[in-house]
Amino acid sequence: MMRQSQSRVSILLAIVVAGVFAILVFGQPSTTAAVQSNFTGGEPTRPDSSDMRALRLRFEAGVRSNWHSHGGWQILAAEEGRGRTQVRGGEIMELVPGGRPVFTAAGVVHWHGASPDEHVVQLTVLGGAGDRPTSWFGPVTEEEYRGE
């Protein structure tokens, strides 16, 4: 009986040793394997964005801002409806969902709002202003708003 127990222990020990040997020889999952990346050529870094903010504004048909300039840059896009924006002295640009966003640099005088006959939900991203405020000027006239 004793001999049979020793034999079972020997067999069990042989199986464990063989398993450890197989892992060492044939490899185990590497702990240094690269983590799957969603980027090619390296990982992007995240610069400080504490000076940025984003908001949604809904302008009803015909509603627009006065002429103004921001202390930092601004990006405008339309999420819904149809909008307009214009840099002073420039052409009116339409804002439509899926259309090209509009970048306005710091200090550039402009206005933005809805088209004359349709509301717009405008996405606005502002950044880089530091402590420089928005400067407000006079209203956009009907002629300016209609591009006349």
Architecture of the domain made up of 53-146: Sandwich (2.60)
Tell me: the pLDDT tens digits for 42-99?
889 999 999 999 999 999 999 999 999 999 999 999 999 999 999 999 999 999 999 9
Distance CA 13, CA 19 (A): 10
Tell me: the pLDDT tens digits for 88-125?
999 999 999 999 999 999 999 999 999 999 999 999 99
pTM above 0.75, yes or no: no
The share of the chain scoring above pLDDT 70, in percent, equals 76
Domain boundaries, the chain: 53-146
Assign residue 108 a region (left: φ > 0; alpha: ψ between -120 and 50; beta: otherwise).
beta
